[in-house]
């Protein structure tokens, strides 16, 4: 059922498809931070039509741990999927915008690994931030996203858990680098959650 949202343009160069991002950014009216990953996995890995849709990715479990002390807070166990309505309510309540750093990519291998993604068209970040006038922080959820954001903002890539600062559209912005929420990243979910918890606390979301 998800395939209709999965738009591909067949390219002759290397016979690799260019994949277009299936969703618009989610930007609540009161958004104060912007969380950016890299790009969604293929539709056969989706448990919902929204960011971090792969049921074995721990992003929403980490959010559950931090804000509700329950890693299963956003999970509908009867359907083995995330509860998109609960997620959107949470993002709006906490003033969190969410999206990805790439709009178009090529998968150099037939998997969801960031290291095998070629970014064809990145998110127009500077223009995007004009839609989020109160944004004071950008958070990357992994190395690839951090690299793209650093290139777009002409900043250095922070260490994990740290941030760099820059001025965008006349406003000072902190750019945080967080650990990947993929289970392929070798760190326990509780330790990942601690990084995110400290970040959210430092910017007044928690």
pLDDT confidence of residue 5: 42
User: Is residue 2 pLDDT above 50, yes or no?
Assistant: no
pTM: 0.90
113-172 pLDDT, tens digit each: 667 789 999 999 999 999 999 999 999 999 999 999 999 999 999 999 999 999 999 999
Q: How confident is the model at residue 10 (pLDDT cuts 50, 70, 90)?
A: very low
Angle (CA) 113-116-121 rounded to 5° is 105
Residue 6 confidence (pLDDT) above 90:
no
Report d(CA 8, CA 93) in Å as an integer. Answer: 34
pLDDT tens for residues 61-94? 999 999 999 999 999 988 889 999 999 999 999 9
Report the candidate in 101, 123, 125, 94 with the shortest Cα–Cα distance to residue 31: 94
> Is 183 in contact with 190 (CB distance < 8 Å)?
no
Domains, the chain, with CATH or none = 25-100+124-202 (3.40.470.10)
Q: What's the pLDDT score for residue 194?
A: 98
The full DSSP string for 83-141 is -HHHHHHHHHHTTEEEEESEEEEEESSSS--GGGEEEEEE--HHHHHTT-TT--EEEEE
pLDDT at 203 over 60: yes
* Residue 109 pLDDT exceeds 80: no
Confidence at residue 15, expressed as pLDDT on a 0 to 100 scale: 62
**Tell me, what's the pLDDT at 108?**
84
């Amino acid at each position: 059922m998800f395939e209709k949202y999965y738009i591909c343009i067949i390219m002759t160069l290397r016979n690799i498809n260019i994949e277009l991002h299936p969703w618009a950014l989610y930007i609540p009216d009161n958004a104060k931070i912007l969380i950016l990953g890299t790009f969604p996995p293929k539709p056969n890995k989706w448990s919902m039509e929204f960011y971090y849709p792969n049921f074995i990715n721990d992003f929403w479990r980490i959010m559950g741990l931090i804000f509700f002390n329950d890693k299963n807070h956003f999970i509908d166990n009867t359907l083995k999927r995330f509860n998109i309505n609960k997620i959107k309510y949470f993002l709006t309540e906490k003033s969190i915008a969410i999206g990805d750093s790439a709009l178009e990519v090529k998968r150099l291998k037939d998997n969801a690994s960031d290291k095998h993604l070629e970014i064809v068209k990145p998110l127009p970040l500077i223009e995007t931030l004009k839609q989020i006038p109160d944004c004071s922080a950008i958070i990357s959820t992994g190395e690839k996203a951090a690299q793209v954001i650093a290139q777009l903002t002409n900043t250095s890539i922070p260490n994990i858990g740290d941030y760099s600062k820059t001025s965008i559209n006349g406003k000072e912005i902190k750019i945080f680098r967080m650990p990947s929420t993929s289970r392929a990243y070798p760190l326990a979910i509780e330790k990942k959650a601690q990084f995110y918890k400290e970040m959210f606390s430092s910017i007044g979301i928690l």
